[in-house]
């Protein structure tokens, strides 16, 4: 009998798969309570490193054409589809879902990437404006990504909740540091492998496994983070207060559903800034 | 020679009452707990104003809630719109009176209240009136809903205009409001309360509670408000953001700024000079989006500064009621002290300050238009919002350096770019982290155009379709 | 007054190429910004003593003009008498700076004005189109100078300017300036009409202003009065900015003359405000600022009467001219 090669579940920072800087791990069990894997437990220094790479990756990602970003997001859907079996297996193992239910979750995750991929070059068409001002001026409002987003994925979802947390942040050109569900992190690490092989520039998505509450205050108080999605955090009010210190954009828990095959445009726009440009019209 | 003789606007166009209560549920309350509001140009007391308490705030919120549930939310959009049109018209009809009131209480020149503040206030109501029956087209899908009761606190720099920016979209979207004007400039808001009565706006749809910061804090703290809208300093904005953390209250915050006004060597220099002057000396520099950091390309620094100084010699400082006054009074003694302290700090840190010779009136609070040259990005006057007629001048060599210096701020409200090269304008506009970018112009405002900041300049927009969205939510 | 050194200013020998490079290196003009500044200055409120000063100055700055095909000796004489005594009901009324006529009328104007210190300006160089050979233009000018014209209002070759032949425009101005010289060493003051309405853009107007100043213009003048767009406040402000900048760099002071379309005292006061707040007090004198106008005088006279008597005047209380 051949001995199976087990996977080491590491963090995903700057397009690489480091262990936690702290060297810490935690045990993840399957839905029956049996040991499944040791997973890296991210520390505040991993948060710090993630923000640095997220910041440096952001302008390049935002500067890519919308068409290009759409293709990258679609490619993620393709790669995810190709590894469907693995995701289904991980979801089932972690959550105890039936094969049909697990497949449904993977379907939704894939379709959500496709839904978001299609938005990249349409956001401006529906959320931007030419403004008819009362003067000899050209006046246009556009949306641009806010910068670096910190996000806490829902705790009760292994895959689709994570996808519906990452995709709305990055679709417009933000970079994101996402803290996964603590107890359901395996599919997240597999998703990182998908991202790593789908032309997404390193640092645009950074995935931290570990304890959201432990990492939360470091992200919420980090002065180089522009927006924070508090969906999967238990002490949201506390973090919202920390975020107020630099007036981060905040998404409160429960604002958007994270389980469907598509997201919400407003969710995407919450991570964008409206910029209005004026210019005179004259010879 | 051709010296302009005094051309004062008539003081008699407005009559204030001796004292004012709050405007709650369509009626003025009995004045209580009063303090004097003054004309900062003369220090004359104009009227006694009530300092609102928790009890007053509660009464106002109750009136707003009652009006929301019983009246306003039941009206169709077209009817709400008609009320707003009425208000717009009355503001236009009473514009001279309102301009005088605003100038007396704020200290800003009558030229500006007459040509900017009041016409813009009217246009804001006119614009949002038209939205009231078209909310389905706002971008949130069919049947979007109001939040409910909106609590709004406005600053002293554009008292009535800021009130209009807040109240017009709120009412158009179907909210009712409780608004607190700034403690130093409550009079135009109280005149607006009369306008609501003249327009026969249902009682409680608009409530005005006057008072200080503690009154505002009570308002935002109230458990029965759904929406918070604040324009003011970044420090207070942060306090408010903390105050509402963990609640369901939605916030729009329009906070401070330290805008870069970037002049390239190929700019239309004479118009750039006008833009610089308009950018920093409009309204005594009491403008959150003021172009307070001039970034000039090294190759044109000398000629630009020479032209700027020559232009500044023509600025007329003095009696705000004189129709030829360009710069009026600083709004308060506290603000004057702050400006003076920061300029002294700027000089201490190595800047050279310059101001044209202008005679200062004896009473009131005044500050000459000032530029500080030789400023480096690390200097206090390049980082802190001065909120006065003071321009910090820095230089750059390349577009990339200009962008880096412009974006090097915790704020991101506005920016200016001056160049005759079209593609550079578009590139700069892309790269500047600011909610409003004025290219080859500055300080333009329009109800159709969204206004608001990035980063610590706040969030949410006022003006345009986006400004409407701040007061709506999608129906689920 | 220092002499102009065109080559030093342009930085090389004067060729079409060097002129083109120099003119295109001038800062651009933003139309909306320029017009906004003018609109803002137009809200200046000019009252009482400053209004009285402004009305008198407007008269003193006036080039009272008749430029009709139907002009006759009698018509010109009548206008000159009006200039000598603008308001017979108020002899304190100042006299205009000049009478502006066609070249063949100069002799009649000179005769009618006699010893009064009112200049005679003649339009020349195939006014208003400027479409004639240089020889004809020079002959036209010489004729007027010989007849005693104190000032020559020439037109530039707009065709040459718009086709990029700046050297031709420059050379013609230089040549006309030369024939403005008199034997006694004085010269007829040269006003160069840019015909701004045909140049159309503010960038063109700024370049033409500089070209005229470089070529030795004593005044730059907006218009002939014969095209659809004549003097406007923004154009005048732009030209005032040009002479101010020119003075700041060369110390040579050039005058500005808006002409055509300025009809009311209210307009004239707006122009004076623009002069004061753009070029400065140094230009608030007939030596450096003129109005080319015909109907303006009567409106100013009526406003003047209103200030004196307190009653609004009527058109039958000022003379037809």
Q: Which domains are assigned to chain C?
A: 30-309 (3.20.20.70)
Closest Cα in chain A, distance from residue B3 (Å): 32
Closest Cα in chain B, distance from residue A121 (Å): 16
Chain C residues within 8 A of B271 when measuring between CB atoms: 29-30, 33-34, 37
Q: Is A58 on the interface with B (CB under 8 A)?
A: no
Q: Is B268 on the interface with A (CB under 8 A)?
A: no
CB-CB: which of B433, B441, B450 is closest to A274?
A: B450
CB-CB: which of A133, A236, A276 is closest to B246?
A: A236
Q: Active-site positions of C? A: 153, 221, 257
Chain A residues within 8 A of C30 when measuring between CB atoms: 280, 282
Cα gap C93→C89, rounded to integer Å: 9
* Block mean pLDDT (10 aa), chain B, length 476: 93 97 98 98 97 98 98 98 98 98 98 98 98 97 96 98 98 98 98 98 98 98 98 98 97 97 98 98 96 98 98 97 97 96 97 94 96 97 96 98 98 98 97 98 98 97 97 86
Neighbouring chains of A at 3+ CB pairs under 8 Å are B, C
Interchain proximity C53–B324, CB inside 8 Å: no
Q: Is C53 on the interface with B (CB under 8 A)?
A: yes
Cα gap A149→A224, rounded to integer Å: 9
Torsion angle defined by CA atoms of residues B104, B105, B108 and B109, in that order, rounded to the nearest 10 degrees: -10
Q: Is A224 on the interface with B (CB under 8 A)?
A: no
Q: Which of B102, B288, B385, B462 is catalytic?
A: B288
Nearest CA in chain A to C202: A283
Interchain proximity B435–A127, CB inside 8 Å: no
List, for residues B100-122, the tens digit of each pLDDT value. 999 999 999 999 999 999 999 99
Low-confidence ranges of chain C (pLDDT < 50): none
CB-CB: which of B245, B438, B454 is closest to A244?
A: B245
- This prediction has a pTM of 0.96
SS3 A193: helix
Chain A segment 80-109 residues within 8 A of C by beta carbon are none
Residue with tokens 């345009």: B464
Q: Is A122 on the interface with B (CB under 8 A)?
A: no
Residue with tokens 């710069």: B327
Q: Is C48 on the interface with B (CB under 8 A)?
A: yes
Q: Which uninterrupted H or E stretch holds B411?
A: strand B411-412
Q: Is B380 on the interface with A (CB under 8 A)?
A: no
Contact in structure between B387 and B338 (CB atoms under 8 Å): yes
Interchain proximity C201–A283, CB inside 8 Å: yes
Neighbouring chains of B at 3+ CB pairs under 8 Å are A, C
List, for residues B400-450, the tens digit of each pLDDT value. 999 999 999 999 999 999 999 999 999 999 999 999 999 999 999 999 999
Chain A residues within 8 A of B245 when measuring between CB atoms: 237-238, 240-241, 243-244
Chain C residues within 8 A of A135 when measuring between CB atoms: 32
Q: Best mutation site among B271, B417, B424 for testing chain C: the one with the most C CBs within 10 Å?
A: B271
CATH class entry, domain A25-280: alpha beta
Chain B residues within 8 A of A127 when measuring between CB atoms: 139
Q: Is C52 on the interface with B (CB under 8 A)?
A: no
A149 closest CA partner among A50, A75, A82, A235: A50
Residue with tokens 């004593």: C218
Query: Which residues face A207 on adjacent strands?
Result: A12, A178
Interchain proximity C32–A283, CB inside 8 Å: no
Nearest CA in chain B to C41: B324
Cα gap B204→B24, rounded to integer Å: 6
Tokens of residue C262, six digits? 């300025």
SS3 B378: coil
Could you tell me where the beta strands, DSSP code E, fall in A131-260? Answer: 137-145, 148-152, 175-179, 205-208, 227-229, 249-251
Q: Best mutation site among A136, A139, A283 for testing chain C: the one with the most C CBs within 10 Å?
A: A283
Closest Cα in chain C, distance from residue B51 (Å): 39
pLDDT score, position B420: 97
Q: Is B423 on the interface with A (CB under 8 A)?
A: no
ipTM of this complex: 0.97
B287 closest CA partner among B410, B153, B420, B390: B390
Q: Provide the pairing of β-strand B250-254 with B352-354.
A: unpaired
Q: Best mutation site among B416, B444, B463 for testing chain A: the one with the most A CBs within 10 Å?
A: B444
Average pLDDT on A6-32 reads: 95
CB-CB: which of C32, C33, C45 is closest to B324?
A: C45
Interchain proximity C33–B275, CB inside 8 Å: yes
Rounded to the nearest 5 degrees, what angle is found at the Cα of B451, between the Cα atoms of B449 and B452? 160
Note if the bond before C128 is cis, omega within 30 degrees. Answer: yes
Nearest CA in chain B to A143: B435
Interchain proximity A282–C32, CB inside 8 Å: yes
Interchain proximity C30–A282, CB inside 8 Å: yes
Where does the pLDDT of residue A146 fall: very low under 50, low under 70, confident under 90, or very high at 90 and above?
A: very high
Residue with tokens 């040991």: A35
Q: Which residues of B touch C (CB under 8 A)?
A: 1-7, 111, 115, 266-271, 274-275, 306, 314, 323-324, 420, 440-441
Interchain proximity A136–C32, CB inside 8 Å: yes
Contact in structure between B245 and B215 (CB atoms under 8 Å): no
Q: In what order do the strands lie in the sheet with B27-28?
A: B27-28, B23-24, B206-208, B176-180, B149-153, B227-231, B250-254, B458-459
Torsion angles phi and psi, residue A250, rounded to 5: -125, 130
Q: Is A23 on the interface with C (CB under 8 A)?
A: no
Cα gap C148→C188, rounded to integer Å: 9
Contact in structure between A94 and A36 (CB atoms under 8 Å): yes
Q: Best mutation site among A275, A281, A283 for testing chain B: the one with the most B CBs within 10 Å?
A: A275
Torsion angles phi and psi, residue C45, rounded to 5: -105, 110
Nearest CA in chain C to A281: C32
């Amino acid at each position: 009998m051949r001995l199976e090669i087990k996977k080491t579940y590491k963090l995903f920072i700057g397009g690489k798969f480091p262990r936690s800087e702290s060297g810490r791990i935690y045990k993840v069990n399957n839905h029956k309570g049996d040991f499944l894997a040791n997973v890296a437990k991210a520390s505040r220094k991993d948060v710090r490193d993630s923000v640095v790479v997220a910041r440096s990756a952001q302008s390049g990602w935002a500067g890519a054409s919308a068409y290009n970003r759409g293709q990258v997001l679609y490619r993620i859907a393709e790669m995810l589809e190709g590894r469907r079996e693995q995701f289904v297996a991980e979801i089932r193992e972690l959550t105890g879902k039936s094969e049909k239910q697990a497949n449904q979750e993977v379907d939704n995750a894939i379709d959500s990437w496709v839904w978001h991929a299609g938005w990249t070059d349409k956001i401006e068409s529906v959320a931007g404006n030419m403004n008819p001002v009362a003067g000899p001026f050209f006046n246009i409002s556009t949306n641009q990504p806010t910068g670096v987003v910190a996000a806490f994925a829902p705790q009760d979802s292994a895959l689709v909740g994570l996808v519906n947390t990452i995709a709305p942040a990055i679709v417009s050109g933000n970079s994101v540091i996402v803290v996964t569900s603590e107890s359901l992190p395996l599919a997240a690490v597999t998703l990182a492998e998908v991202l790593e092989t789908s032309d997404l520039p390193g640092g645009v998505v950074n995935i931290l496994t570990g304890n959201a509450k432990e990492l939360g205050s470091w992200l919420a108080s980090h002065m180089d983070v522009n927006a924070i999605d508090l969906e999967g955090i238990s002490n949201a009010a506390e973090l919202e207060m920390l975020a107020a210190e630099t007036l981060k954009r905040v998404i409160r828990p429960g604002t958007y559903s994270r389980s469907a095959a598509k997201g919400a445009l407003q969710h995407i726009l919450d991570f964008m800034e409206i910029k209005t440009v004026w210019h005179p019209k004259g010879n | 020679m051709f010296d302009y003789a005094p051309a004062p606007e008539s003081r008699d166009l407005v009559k204030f009452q001796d004292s004012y209560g709050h405007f709650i549920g369509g009626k003025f309350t009995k004045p209580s707990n009063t303090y004097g509001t003054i004309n900062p140009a003369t220090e004359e007391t104009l009227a006694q104003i009530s300092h609102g308490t928790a009890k007053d705030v509660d009464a106002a919120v109750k009136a707003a809630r009652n009006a929301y549930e019983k009246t306003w939310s039941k009206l169709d959009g077209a009817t709400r719109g008609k009320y707003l049109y009425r208000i717009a018209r009355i503001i236009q009809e009473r514009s001279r009176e309102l301009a005088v009131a605003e100038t007396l209480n704020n200290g800003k020149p009558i030229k500006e209240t007459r040509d900017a503040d009041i016409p813009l206030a009217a246009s804001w109501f006119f614009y949002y009136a038209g939205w009231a029956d078209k909310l389905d087209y706002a971008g949130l899908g069919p049947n979007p809903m109001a939040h409910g009761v909106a609590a709004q606190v406005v600053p002293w720099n554009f008292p009535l205009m800021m009130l209009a920016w807040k109240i017009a979209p709120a009412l158009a979207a179907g909210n009712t409001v409780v608004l607190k004007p700034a403690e130093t400039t409550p009079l135009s808001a109280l005149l607006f309360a009369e306008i609501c009565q003249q327009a026969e706006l249902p009682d409680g749809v608009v409530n005005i509670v006057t008072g200080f910061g503690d009154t505002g804090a009570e308002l935002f703290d109230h458990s029965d408000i759904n929406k918070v809208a604040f324009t003011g300093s970044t420090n207070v904005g942060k306090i408010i953001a903390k105050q509402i953390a963990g609640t369901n209250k939605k916030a729009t915050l329009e906070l401070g700024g330290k805008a870069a006004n970037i002049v390239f060597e190929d700019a239309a220099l004479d118009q750039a000079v006008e833009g610089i002057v308009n950018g920093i000396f409009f309204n005594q520099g009491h403008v959150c989006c003021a172009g307070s950091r001039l970034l000039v390309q090294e190759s044109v620094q000398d000629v630009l500064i020479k032209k700027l100084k020559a232009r500044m010699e023509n600025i007329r400082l003095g009696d705000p009621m004189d129709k030829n006054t360009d710069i009026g009074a600083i709004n308060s003694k506290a603000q004057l002290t702050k400006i003076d302290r920061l300029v002294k700090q700027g000089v201490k840190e190595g800047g050279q300050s310059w101001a044209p010779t202008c005679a200062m009136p004896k009473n009131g609070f005044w500050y000459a238009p000032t530029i500080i040259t030789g400023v480096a990005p690390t200097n206090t006057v390049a980082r802190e919002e001065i909120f006065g007629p003071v321009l910090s001048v820095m230089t750059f060599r390349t577009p990339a350096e200009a962008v880096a210096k412009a974006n090097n701020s915790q704020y991101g409200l506005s920016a200016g770019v001056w160049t005759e090269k079209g593609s550079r304008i578009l590139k700069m506009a892309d790269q500047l982290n600011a909610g409003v970018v004025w290219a080859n112009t500055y300080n333009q405002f329009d109800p159709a155009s969204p206004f608001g900041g990035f980063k610590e300049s706040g969030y949410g927009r006022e003006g345009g379709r986006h400004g409407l969205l701040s007061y709506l939510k999608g129906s689920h | 007054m220092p002499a102009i050194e065109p080559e030093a200013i342009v930085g090389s020998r004067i060729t079409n190429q060097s002129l083109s490079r120099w003119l295109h290196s001038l800062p651009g003009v933003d139309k909306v910004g320029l017009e906004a500044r003018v609109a803002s200055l137009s809200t200046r409120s000019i009252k009482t003593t400053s209004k009285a000063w402004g009305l008198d100055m407007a008269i003193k700055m006036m080039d009272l003009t008749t430029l009709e095909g139907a002009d006759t000796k009698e018509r010109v004489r009548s206008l000159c008498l009006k200039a000598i005594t603008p308001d017979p009901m108020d002899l304190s009324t100042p006299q205009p700076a000049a009478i502006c006529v066609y070249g063949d009328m100069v002799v009649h104007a000179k005769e009618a004005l006699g010893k009064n210190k009112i200049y005679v300006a003649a339009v020349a160089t195939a006014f208003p189109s400027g479409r004639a050979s240089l020889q004809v233009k020079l002959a036209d000018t010489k004729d007027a100078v010989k007849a005693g014209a104190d000032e020559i209002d020439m037109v530039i070759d707009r065709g040459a300017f718009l086709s990029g032949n700046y050297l031709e425009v420059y050379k013609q101005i230089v040549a006309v300036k030369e024939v403005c010289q008199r034997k006694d060493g004085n010269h007829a003051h040269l006003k160069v009409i840019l015909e701004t309405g045909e140049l159309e853009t503010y960038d063109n107007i700024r370049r033409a202003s500089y070209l005229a100043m470089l070529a030795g213009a004593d005044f730059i003048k907006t218009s002939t009065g014969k095209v659809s767009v004549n003097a406007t406040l923004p154009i005048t402000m732009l030209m005032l900015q040009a002479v101010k900048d020119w003075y700041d760099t060369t110390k040579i002071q050039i005058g500005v003359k808006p002409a055509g379309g300025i009809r009311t005292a209210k307009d004239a006061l707006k122009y004076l405000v623009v002069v004061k707040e753009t070029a400065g007090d140094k230009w608030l004198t007939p030596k450096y600022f003129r109005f080319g106008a015909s109907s303006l005088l009567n409106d100013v006279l009526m406003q003047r009467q209103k200030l004196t008597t307190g009653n609004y005047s009527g058109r039958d209380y000022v003379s037809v001219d």
